[in-house]
A and B are shown apart, each in its own frame.
Chain A
Amino acid sequence: MGELTATNLFESQTILADHKDLIHDVAYDFYGERMATCSSDQYVKVWDSDGNGGWRLTASWKAHHGSVWKVTWAHPEFGQVIATCSFDRTAAIWEEVGDTAASGSEKGLRTWLKRSNLVDSRTSVTDVKFGPKHLGLLLVTCSADGIIRIYEAPDVMNLAQWTLQHEIPTKVSISCLSWNPSLSRVVHPPMLAVGSDEPNTTNAAASVQGDKTTACNGKVFIYEYSESSRRWTRTDCLSSVQEPVNDIAFAPNLGRSFHLLAVATKDVRIIKIEPIAESAASGNNGATVRFKCEVVAAFEEHYSCVWRVCWNLTGTLLASSGDDCAVRLWKMQYLNQWKCVAVFKNEPVPGDSPPQSRPHTTYIRMATMANPTHMPFH
């Protein structure tokens, strides 16, 4: 796709979000034409692209009684639907009503109705994601007490009804999750990756040893749905990730034979998960190992905690954001080497400056690209 050739530069634009507190999540819809933001100020805002590069606020409403952690769009086949999750221990499903077909000036009047409120969690709901479209209208939530809940809307026309299909206790605090978006039903059963932000309470070497007796000290778990047993089971635990995980994202899998999982922890990690053929696995050691996991890249360029990772559409470009307030773009180069291809630095206002100095300058620095011709054109 060559988005990142040496000649083109990303152009930046500040959107006055006017959230009263930190924005915790930004989500584009399926087409990239709408954007939802959610914030600790308990508001969710929806922005529409005007087609000329501008973004217009079309809806803003108080969605929860606590910080809204995540917002996510459903596939447009199910309508204009978003789900939010919050510190107030609920997840909510919102649907846009009003004349979505109207154009021009009438377009401004949109309202989002709360179709359902999922109140099963006893603690803060830390993440919410819609399942891949071919599985129907599925929603998964995870909470700080470590319970993954999978809901299904049996009738996609009735968003008020969600049945709790599965409840998977994990015993550790779960901070983030990601569906495997693979479109292949046959080869890849429904798969979820969850990341834990449980602090490593292992204080000294002694207790590390104590923990080693337990199954796995990793922070990323893979769950798979088994059609035969109709259950979600933990099929893997990535032992390579030992630090608390802040975000996790499967790359869109458009026909790869393996999955790519990005993990935001103390660094940015890209993990290649290669399903092992059933026959080979069972031949080796009784089909206990389902995947071959390999850390293909680990970047510490953020020099601090990494908060978010996000893939582009084809899974060729990874964006990460860390406490250094920079966004870094990673791309696979020749010889399957992942390299940083761009850095967007958002210069923070010095700490003690008065809050009214909001309009500030932003600088964008493109990272040095060693040789532009080395960009693979995919």
Chain B
Amino acid sequence: MIPSNTICVSQEGPANALALNKDCSQVVIAGRNVFKVFSIGENDFSEVCNLRVGKNLNLNFSSIDVAWSTIEENTLATAATNGAVVVWNLGRSGRSKQEHVFSDHKRTVNKVSFHLTEPALLISGSQDGMMKCFDLRMKEVARTFISNTESIRDVQFSPHQAHTFAAVSENGNVQLWDVRRHERCLMQFTAHSGPVFACDWHPEQPWLATASRDKTIKVWDTIDRKPNLEHTIYTIASVGHVKWRPQKTYQVASCALVLDCAVHVWDVRRPHVPLATFAEHRDVTTAIAWLADPHTFLSTSRDCSLYRHRFSEAAHPVLWANPHGVCVSARGDLAHAAPERPLPALPARCRPAPAERHLPGLGRKQPTAGSLSAGAQAALERAFPGGASSTLLRYSAPPHNALLQCAAHYRMRGAPPHVLAEHNANVARANNRHMVSHVWEVVRCVYEARAAGRGSPAPPRSKEPPRPEPPPLPPYTHTYNSAVEEEPLEEVEEWAETQFHNSGVLGKPTLSIYIPPSKPSKHARSLDDENTGWVSAASAHYVDVDAADWTLPEEAFPLRSAPPPPHALGAHTTPAPTAPPHTLRHDDKDHTVVPRSGGGTSPGGSSSPGSGSSGSSGSACTAPPNLDHSGYHHHSNMHMEEGGEGCDGGLAIRVGDNRSPQLDVAPLLAAALRQHADLGDVQTPAVVMLVLQDHRSDLFPYIEESLQEHWLLGYIELLQRHKLWNIATEVVRSAWISSVWVVSQQSTSVALCCGRCGRRWRRAACDCAGARAAGRGGAAVCAVCRRVVRGLYAWCQGCGHGGHLQHMRAWLQRHQLCPAGCAHRCQLA
């Protein structure tokens, strides 16, 4: 479990502190329940002496800190929790080594520290805010230093000026004192924004490192009268202890007070990433002490263990930190962040791989712990401080993007498939996408032949649409309205009763809309009386046609999955009311004499009220019944899709010769589209499927619906990423899959702006102050031409909108609704 060069010993209790003797051959550890001296062997610790012996183990044995005299071999001092400073003499005969107890502090003593050259001088820092200098020969307090702070957490003599010591306190201050002068300190400065828990003098530089709860280690230059902040190291947790690494000017080890169990060694020149990490401890580390050389240190932890770490066992977080960042944007830009000076250890990174093998399982989550050779580690140490900078480079792609060009110029509807395909083929070719263009050409050929074969111009509408398809937007809502009202639709609206839950902006159901049924066709009525009866029954739900927002029906499109009204089906066919489309069709097939009603009553063939009003529908509606033939063909495919029916063979015979190529082409086309999708070009399959319009059902047997949905969603996302909202919306609207076109209802918000001031309406009502002010100002604006009216101003009494008399007249000759768009049915007085 433990790397071979690391040694460990467990004790009965956690140690708060440790101290080395002057030749670093022995270590003393002290805590509340433990006080022992170990000798440090090559491969193990051996207990030399247990100082926690005797009859009355009082609080004097419970230590916060321990210090070993740097001069006297046998002299130890501990800081006890009860405020006592206890001096121990290892040379005493007998079990008890206690030499003297100074009970001068009122509260817990946090730290004791020996003078580096005067063997008799010991200093202590206490929770009571005082430091006391003890004279061990006189066994008395020589001087008391009053810090004027609440508590002193650490005191340490400077190695550079014999009589100076530093004291850090919980209010974030650092004080430097002359040990001979207790009146006032030499220097005082606020070092941290939180309590300072520890300090350590640099062995060579006049630097003092301070560790604080504000998660930083700061390095102060104290050579002048004024402290100078040289470096700040940012760690992830409150820093409990800090120790400079001997012989390494810039390196300092730290351990955290909470949260982080590891010991980190930092290079002060690279303050954010530890150079090395030692994560053997299972609980927070309480003390660290370097042996005389820079390659070994000891640590004690709250997990009751004492470790000796070898620097060669270090993990180097910088090696497993990802030095590169790469990202490709939706625009095709590429950003690359790379280290300016890659670590030279990186070639060594590959080398340790075999070295790694020699190690036993580390049992730790440290990818590279102890895996570096000595040379690599040295190289890393050298390069580490300079490796802190990254270059951020951006490679911008050339602006021309054929995909976008195609997206922008493709036509997806408004013409028969072969026309659209021809156009799109040209677009693709113009953008150098010859393979795509080829696909389009194939589509064009196939459907051109079919359209010609049908013997009529046969716009796609003439076929029974297998899936409802939204119509193009009418130019004016008003005309749309009147169109629906005035031209009786040829197709029976079966789905009139579909109740639609329109999800509003925030996904709340806002409206239930009854789609008003259009008037039944005369055809249908004559052929199917039951239907008429039903429609009239449905008309009972026809709520307030005039007030209804007539722009809605087209987005409130019949759900494909909605079952047809039961009584309609019951009247028409024998199968169960929930029969799938092809059942109806099947029924239809039996009476081959019912061409129109078949189209009208099949749910697949039903269309929205809007479809009747779409531009191409006129010819479709009046198309002769022979079109039903082509309808048949469709349904034969639908049968195939749904597993085939017994009558399928019969249908195939009926299919004319001119339609045989399509049976061959559909699987090929489907395969081609799949291939394009697999190659990462989702545009082609999605747009081809859109362009095919009603013919797309040819492909349904070969492309499962989930895949179709996937293509559409993929293409929509692609467009959205390029902010091609209009095209994306068009795709959504033309989609034949319910889960796709409901996108236009989910989380779609329509922002209304005031026509006058252009501000957004907060509520449904127009309460635009600016507009009202403008109105009061007398600048009446024509609702038609948007100009200020000078002269005759005519307005509707009902809604108050008006404008130039001629404009209003002209408008109302053609329209019924208010030109201002308030949906009022205006009448000029």
Contacts and interface: CB of A to CB of B under 8 A. Distances in A.
Interface in A1-46: 1-3, 5, 8-17, 19-28, 30-33, 35, 37, 39-42
A48 interface: no
A15 B393 contact: yes
A258 to B, nearest CB: 7
A204 B354 CA distance: 10
B398 A255 contact: no
A314 B344 CA distance: 36
Interface stretch (A104-112, A220-228, A284-292, A343-351): A343-351
Interface stretch (B326-334, B521-529, B553-561): B326-334
Contacts of A24: 321-323, 325, 337
Contacts of B679: 316, 332, 376, 378
A270 to B, nearest CB: 12
Nearest to A173: B365
A265 B360 CA distance: 23
A321 to B, nearest CB: 4
A32 B721 CA distance: 8
B325 A37 contact: yes
A187 interface: yes
A254 B722 CA distance: 15
B335 to A, nearest CB: 4
User: What's the dominant secondary structure at chain B's contact region?
Assistant: mixed
Interface residues of A, number: 111
Contact of B432 (A2, A17, A42): A2
Contact of B336 (A26, A184, A251): A26
Interface string B354-372: 0011111110010110010
B568 to A, nearest CB: 30
B390 A17 contact: yes
A126 to B, nearest CB: 9
A304 interface: yes
B272 A67 contact: yes
B332 A3 contact: yes
Contacts, number: 330
A321 B390 CA distance: 14
Output the residue of B332, B431, B685 with the most chain A CB within 10 A: B332
Interface stretch (B48-56, B653-661, B710-718, B785-793): B710-718
Interface in B655-690: 674, 676-682, 685-686
Contacts of B347: 304
A319 B334 contact: yes
Contacts of A353: 341
Contacts of B358: 203
Interface stretch (A91-99, A161-169, A322-330): A322-330
Contacts of A346: 336, 338, 391, 393
A192 interface: no
Interface string A326-342: 01010010000000000
Interface stretch (B94-102, B400-408, B459-467, B592-600): B400-408
A50 interface: no
A179 interface: no
Nearest to B705: A186
Interface residues of B, number: 100
User: What's the dominant secondary structure at chain A's contact region?
Assistant: loop
A378 B676 contact: yes
B397 interface: yes
Nearest to B718: A254
B386 interface: yes
B713 A348 contact: no
Nearest to B386: A355
Contacts of B339: 22, 325, 348
Contacts of A65: 215, 234-237
Given A24-B322, A327-B334, A255 B714 contact: yes
A70 B376 CA distance: 27
A42 B234 contact: yes
Interface string B442-483: 000000000000000000000000000000000000000000
B389 A358 contact: yes
B322 A307 contact: yes
A247 B397 CA distance: 24
Interface string A346-364: 1011111101001010101
A253 B320 CA distance: 30
Contacts of A323: 323, 342, 346, 349
Given A320-B326, A346-B336, 16 more contacts: A3-B332, A11-B395, A17-B392, A21-B270, A25-B325, A31-B722, A39-B272, A41-B272, A199-B356, A253-B710, A305-B349, A313-B328, A319-B336, A346-B391, A348-B340, A378-B681
26 contacts: A2-B432, A3-B401, A22-B323, A22-B389, A26-B325, A26-B327, A26-B336, A28-B327, A28-B329, A30-B720, A67-B321, A87-B317, A89-B259, A123-B365, A175-B320, A183-B714, A186-B709, A187-B706, A255-B677, A256-B678, A308-B322, A314-B681, A316-B679, A358-B340, A377-B432, A378-B433
